Structure 1
Amino acid sequence: MMKRLRAVAGVRLPLAILVLYVLVALFAPLFAPYDPDTTTLAQRLMSPNAQHLMGTDALGRDVLSRTMYGTRVSLLVAVVAVLASGIFGVALGVIAGWRRGWLGAVIMRLVDVVLSVPFFLLAILVVAVLGPSLVNVVLCLALVRWPRYARIAYSTTLQTRDRGFVRAATATGAPAWWIVLRHVLPEVLPVTIVVATLELGLMVVYEASLSFLGLGVQPPTSSWGSILSDGQQYLGSAWWLATFPGLALFVLVLAVNLLGDAARDRLDPARRTDVRRSRIFKKEGARA
């Protein structure tokens, strides 16, 4: 019974929540009761009621509709940024681990340099050069997070390179690109998927932080960060402006992190080995 409850809490429930968010993001025009950008000053700062379930903001816009449309922006930015940073980071990490030598050293030193730069400092630099926009937010997040994938791909490639099946393929005269695609990438991808799952929630938080500071998605486009920024000055008089978008952000990040933990338990080779060992020890203890 306890195992079933853990399975529901660990995988099924957060997965259902994530699917719900995806559906809201895809079909926001169908689910949203009002246009998120329509202003009605006569209904400004209305508390939650039957007509506006999450109230209205300082311009009379429906908070529920803006939160739904903000889900679309947050998920779009997070998914695209994870894909861009993951592909770029894995490619450089595999190249560094396979080629090694001066090329690998240069790539890994570049990784150290990027990791040493604070996130918001790099974000301000990118926005100052390119200007705040949805595309630049994705570019900024991808530039900040690709070193994590590169490090993991680099270490996994180094370990796989010295294994017997890779040496056998090299001895048979197989080309390097075929060995990487056939033997190295299948070892790198499971760990990368775990990292990408955990990074998805972090990307959502980063996007909201940039929009909160005015460096991300610009008005009138709905974003959780911009909604929170607008609501911070009304915390004492209009609590709903920041509460509901904040709860939406919190639940999404929590669900993604739970899925990331579940993916790590299933796909991470080190954890799978520990689980197998613990099962063996339990069996031996029961027999004794």
Structure 2
Amino acid sequence: MNRRGVLIPLVVLAIYVLAAIFAPLLAPHDPNAVTLAQRLLPPGAHHLLGTDALGRDVLSRVIYGARVSLLVAVGAVLVGGVVGVALGMIAAWRGAKVGAVLMRLVDIVLSVPFFLLAILVVAVLGPSLLNVVVCLALVRWPRYARVAHSATLQTRSRGFVRAATATGAPGWWIVLRHVLPEVLPVAIVVGTLELGLMVIYEASLSFLGLGVQPPTASWGSILSDGQQYIASAWWLATFPGIALFLLVLAANLLGDAARDRLDPAKRAELPRSRLFQRATMRRKAA
């Protein structure tokens, strides 16, 4: 992917992040203010994206919904990534028995359908913003564990790790100094690809009433309310759907760019002529 192809999703994500951070300044109305006299107004000058069945401004709720979606997505990626990378590296470094137990746990978690596991977690913890983050992290950490386990096994057999082991360096130092820098690029690639998926999962849980609870604005809950008026008030589901689509598309494009840039397997697939061209361009630029 060229630089322009990377710049566009970065700009889109930056817009969403700024909208989430400065939501109180950008939202023209209180997202939770109920005005029944103005219910189901179509898009107009006073309400740019119309109002919902309770007279709440749709634009304000979409802006505040971006804050919820990004907060949940980033939190789930960070928590799931830290837990998954740590367990994957432990499984590969500690030996066959520990690795077998942890990787079988990974297989068990991956074998359970997402929504079934999500319903179980939410039923135990209760629906809330924090619990949605915990739920998504519990569901998705095995993916990080798998790639961290594979990358650690490959790095463990390399010469510089063997040399560090032969000199008597402690295992924790070798892992942090030599193994972790080799695992992080792959984990970052997985995290960028998971970001858009977490947004979809959060919206799905909120759509089913298992995620962020009313009156907090969430794209999933807005879509759930809008489905009842899809024929008479098309704007209720259309604009949150467009916002969700653009965010997920930008996250996926950025994830593809990160994979091409950081994934060692993808870099190895580049033709030699292309690598030669890149090296030539760098020398000219220098």
Q: TM-score, normalised by structure 1?
A: 0.94
Equivalent of 2:3 in 7, 17, 34: 7
Deviation at 1:282, TM superposition (A): 8.2
Deviation at 1:281, TM superposition (A): 8.5
The number of equivalent residue pairs is 278
1:152 aligns with 2:121: no
Distance 1:212 1:280 in 2: 47
1:165 aligns with 2:134: no
Deviation at 1:165, TM superposition (A): 0.4
1:117 aligns with 2:112: yes
Distance 2:203 2:148 in 1: 28
Partner of 2:45: 50
Q: Structure 1, residues 185-242: CA drift from partner, whole Å, max 9, x if none?
A: 0000000000000000000000000000000000000000000000001000000000
1:62 aligns with 2:63: no
Q: Structure 1, residues 133-171: CA drift from partner, whole Å, max 9, x if none?
A: 111111100000000000000000000000000000000
Distance 1:82 1:170 in 2: 32
Gaps of 5+ in 2: 279-286
SS in 2 for 1:217: coil
Partner of 2:124: 129
Within 5 A, what are the aligned runs for 1:1-288? 6-8=2-4, 10-279=5-274
Distance 1:282 1:230 in 2: 54
Deviation at 1:270, TM superposition (A): 1.1
Distance 1:116 1:278 in 2: 42
Deviation at 1:129, TM superposition (A): 1.1
Deviation at 1:7, TM superposition (A): 2.5
SS in 2 for 1:51: coil
Q: Structure 1, residues 63-82: CA drift from partner, whole Å, max 9, x if none?
A: 00000000000000000010
Distance 2:276 2:29 in 1: 59
Q: Structure 1, residues 90-116: CA drift from partner, whole Å, max 9, x if none?
A: 000000011122111000000000000
Distance 1:92 1:123 in 2: 21
Partner of 2:282: none
Query: Residues 176 and 276 (structure 1 numbering): CA distance in 2 closer, same or farther, change over 3 Å?
Result: farther
Distance 1:84 1:282 in 2: 39
Paired amino acid for 1:94? M
SS in 2 for 1:226: helix
SS in 1 for 2:42: coil
Distance 2:253 2:40 in 1: 35
Distance 1:93 1:41 in 2: 53
SS in 2 for 1:275: coil
Paired amino acid for 2:243? A
Distance 1:69 1:160 in 2: 43
Distance 2:271 2:167 in 1: 34
Paired amino acid for 1:36? P
SS in 2 for 1:174: coil
SS in 1 for 2:270: helix
Deviation at 1:277, TM superposition (A): 2.8
Distance 1:281 1:130 in 2: 55
CA RMSD of aligned residues (A): 1.3
SS in 2 for 1:232: helix
Gaps of 5+ in 1: 284-288
Paired amino acid for 1:232? Q
Distance 2:229 2:14 in 1: 32
SS in 1 for 2:269: helix
